[in-house]
């Protein structure tokens, strides 16, 4: 898949997720997303807002010179469906492991709880402004030197643990 299309798809999802929290202008959406990820350009956000509105996922009202965007019923429905499909995919994977005998009933239940809790953690991490850049840097460092990357991560973990004390 083309990287530009991937980024555009991710940006569409981010926009829908931000509007799930409440109404916003295009500027507000850019500002909210930039608090969690790389700041998207207005040249990429506004055409997507227009496309999402034309496809019925957003409602728009005019307030003076501002356009205020909200999720339409169709937009809310598609986000619910996406979350349900993600949950169903996890359940199917655990079920395959359980039915094959790799996981017992108890292990399958524990695994499902584990995956659910990790998903919540990952969602929280995505709220960090530099999370995506951190992951990219981590993968690049790992490709160069696993041992040096692990050393850096050990130091990083110690620093984070000192913050939580």
**What's the domain range around 39?**
3-71
Residue 89 and residue 27 share a domain: no
pTM of this structure: 0.61
Residue 85 and residue 62 share a domain: no
Residue 136 and residue 109 share a domain: yes
The pLDDT, as a whole number, for residue 61 is 96
Q: How many domains does the chain have?
A: 2
Q: Evaluate if residue 100 carries a pLDDT over 80.
A: yes
The pLDDT, as a whole number, for residue 129 is 66
Residue 110 and residue 67 share a domain: no
Tokens (6 digits) for 58: 């957003």
Please write the tens of the pLDDT for every residue from 27-72. 999 998 888 777 889 999 999 999 999 999 999 999 999 999 999 9
The pLDDT, as a whole number, for residue 1 is 52
Residue 126 and residue 61 share a domain: no
Q: Find out whether 60 and 68 touch, Cβ atoms under 8 Å.
A: yes
Please write the tens of the pLDDT for every residue from 102-155. 989 898 888 878 877 776 777 677 666 677 678 778 888 988 999 999 999 999
């Amino acid at each position: 898949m083309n990287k530009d299309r991937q980024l555009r798809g991710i940006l569409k999802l981010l926009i829908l997720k931000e509007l799930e929290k409440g109404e916003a202008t295009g500027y507000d959406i850019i500002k909210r997303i930039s608090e969690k990820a790389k700041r998207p350009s207005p040249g990429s956000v506004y055409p997507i807002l227009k496309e999402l509105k034309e496809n019925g996922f957003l409602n728009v009202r005019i307030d003076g010179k501002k356009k205020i965007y909200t999720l339409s019923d169709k937009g809310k429905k598609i986000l619910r469906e996406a979350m349900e499909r993600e949950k169903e995919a996890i359940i199917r994977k655990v079920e395959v492991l359980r039915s094959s005998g790799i996981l017992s009933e108890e292990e399958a239940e524990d695994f499902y709880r584990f995956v659910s809790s990790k998903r919540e953690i990952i969602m929280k991490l995505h709220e960090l402004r530099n999370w995506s850049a951190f992951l990219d840097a981590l993968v690049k460092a790992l490709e160069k030197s696993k041992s040096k990357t692990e050393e850096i991560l050990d130091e990083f973990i110690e620093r984070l643990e000192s913050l939580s004390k």
